[in-house]
Amino acid sequence: MSTAFNNVVQGQLLWRPSPDLIQHARLTHYLDWLRHERGLRFADYPGLWQWSVDDPQAFWQSIWDHFQVQASSPHQTVLGDRAMPGAQWFPGARLNFAEHILRNEQAGDALLYGSETKGLQGLPWAEFANQVRTLATYLREVGVVPGDRVVAYLPNIPEAMIALCACAAIGAVWASCSPDFGADGVLDRVHQLSPKVLLAVDGYRYGGKVFDRREQVRRIAYELESIEHIIVLSAMFPETPLTLANAIDWHALHLRPTMPAAHFHCEQLPFEHPLWVLFSSGTTGLPKAIVHSHGGMLLEQLKALHLHLDFRPGDAAFIFTTTGWMMWNTLFSSLLCGVRPVLYDGHPTWPNIDTLWQILQDSRASFFGTSPTFIELMKRQEIVPRERFDLGALRTVMPVGSPVSPQCNAWFYQNLKADIWVTTGSGGTDICTGLLSGVPTLPVYAGEIQARALGVNAHAFDEHGQPVMDQVGELVVTSPMPSMPVYFWNDPQGERYRESYFQPWPGVWRHGDFFQLNTRGGCRVLGRSDATLNRFGVRVGTAEIYRALEAIADIDDALIVNLDLPEGGFFMPLFVQLRPGTVLDEAMQQRVFDCLRRACTPRHVPDQILAVPLIPLTLTGKKMEVPVRRILMGHDPQTVTNPSAMRDPQALAFFIEYARRRFQP
């Protein structure tokens, strides 16, 4: 194992791109195109970024032209109205997201897929496209028209991507939940949409166990009064199929005659026509139903995947995800680039701890998206993938889902290979992309995101709404982006939309993260600003504390909050989930205190440390800092949390009892 980064520190240089990588990067091809086609020359990435935000009309038109966006009707202008919210992008244009996927149909596989019981297989383009056209034709025949909603309760399998592409092709609006959601969690989300069609699986396998979802599907179908048609995929119980009124079996559907490509047309839609609805976590109320558009997603994904993640035609990309997370939509969008998405339906460490590395080897993927939590597990198990697997095709890894520590960055160079590009980013469901992103032609510094993404006018604002450099502030965006939501569902006046993103500064998107920008353009995200730790007048990001605690192997997970007390006081408890067999004794507590004081500052040291059975997490793995803080401040748990949005609702029991004992008379 390499020892070059054993004592890595924040901001340490970890990697520089080779001349060969720079030469072949899609970003370099784009710069060459700008020089030849537009007469524009940029000395470096900061210069290109500055142009992209100073002249957004020229920049987004260049993305349209460079990636040869197809439209049946031309746009009148690029940006008709710059207001936020309410910006009008490419008015007059009519296009279709799915058409830009299907134009890549060719010989070979469209995607690769595997599960806990089956190795990797390929789905040929001809079969993928034929199934898309068959399903789309069926949906048209039963009366699905542009704007109708189709909701899916499916795992990360080819059928889900086929269904999304078919819905997009006919202008239906897609929304999905993974089958690990209970019926309540699904209904909280999709009931808002009044969907016409439900696609559902009868069960799924995870960690070697089969989970029966037939009763959940029956309840979902019963309570969604708007449902007119149901498509059932019998994956786990083919001998006792799920029978429902107005239901058709997925496999029977695909025995229908294939619609020839020459006779099939993709619906031509306005730029802002809804493509899919993504949902917020819903931990403190009804999940927000965030609507993204055909045009906005098309341009943003073409830009982000090609220029920032360096996806190239012929590549394979593996992101460990479920259909309930926006990274699944990103993985689906890789089809726009002529890239094969690699799907895995199952537990990341079952039947073996190195299951995902086996998939990477077998798929010859050039890109791997995973979570810092998974890498922490690899560290603790002392897994060194480069010693056991051929990862020669792997060019890029991207840890996603939470802020990435310098140690996590360095792990890849120590345990995969020295010349790999470790890119990180920050964005989310709200925009289904990154505000801060990787750049393949820039160096990588430990604990930093490389840059602000092209076309994203991101800044750190202080409490007075002024941009700051080398200081922690609020992450804001001061100019519109095509992938900002067109609206929230059932929010006709836009009140919830404005409350979510445009306070306290009207016309400025407030993302809700602590953010620090340095003079070379590097970025750090330090946790959610609505979970502020404010001690002695200094704002502390929770991510800094979690990073430091990674050095203590006996702590599996942690959560910290700061409570405002009467007369200006505060109380900051740290809750830790310990490894089995570990005890929170005085020696352990002192290790934590010393670690935080040494790695951070005395302000980061908690007032009390408490061991808990479980750290409360959302279904997508986010720590529930805000609900815990509200519970500890005396709020009714039923008003600040939604159990159906949690991975394990019982994880809150400790905090509810602790609040009762500690803070109530």
Per-residue pLDDT tens for 401-457?
Answer: 777 888 899 999 999 999 999 999 999 899 999 999 999 999 999 999 999 999 999
Using CA atoms, how far apart are residues 125 and 473, in angstroms rounded to an integer? 47
pTM: 0.86
Question: Residue 14: in which H helix or E strand, if any?
Answer: strand 13-15
Q: Which has the closest alpha carbon to 226: 186, 194, 187, 191?
A: 194
Question: SS3 for 178-236, per residue?
Answer: CCCCCHHHHHHHHHHHCCCEEEEECEEEECCEEEECHHHHHHHHHHCCCCCEEEEECCC
Q: Which CATH class is domain 97-517?
A: alpha beta
Architecture of domain 555-663: 2-Layer Sandwich (3.30)
**In which band, very low, low, confident or very high, does the pLDDT at 205 lie, cut at 50, 70 and 90?**
very high
**In which band, very low, low, confident or very high, does the pLDDT at 346 lie, cut at 50, 70 and 90?**
very high
Four-point Cα dihedral 148, 150, 151, 156, nearest 10: -140
Residue 2: pLDDT over 50: no
Q: Which has the closest alpha carbon to 327: 433, 426, 189?
A: 433
Are the beta carbons of 148 and 196 closer than 8 angstroms? yes
Residue 183: pLDDT over 50: yes
**Regarding predicted confidence, which is higher, 13 or 540?**
13
| Ranges in the chain annotated CATH 3.30.300.30 | 555-663
Are the beta carbons of 131 and 311 closer than 8 angstroms? no
The average confidence (pLDDT) of the chain is 92
- Coil vs helix vs strand at 449: strand
Rounded mean pLDDT, 275-304: 90
**In which band, very low, low, confident or very high, does the pLDDT at 7 lie, cut at 50, 70 and 90?**
confident
- In percent, the amount of the chain with pLDDT more than 70 equals 95
Per-residue pLDDT tens for 74-93?
Answer: 999 999 989 999 999 999 99
| Ranges in the chain annotated CATH 3.40.50.12780 | 97-517
Rounded mean pLDDT, 368-388: 92
Per-residue pLDDT tens for 100-135?
Answer: 999 999 999 999 999 999 999 999 999 999 999 999
Q: What is the pLDDT of residue 3?
A: 39
**In which band, very low, low, confident or very high, does the pLDDT at 1 lie, cut at 50, 70 and 90?**
very low
Using CA atoms, how far apart are residues 307 and 301, in angstroms rounded to an integer? 10
Q: What is the pLDDT of residue 591?
A: 93
Per-residue pLDDT tens for 616-640?
Answer: 998 878 889 888 988 887 778 887 7
Taking residue 387's Cβ as centre, other Cβ atoms within 10 Å add up to 8
Cα distances from 436 to residues 198, 387, 513, in angstroms, run: 35, 33, 12
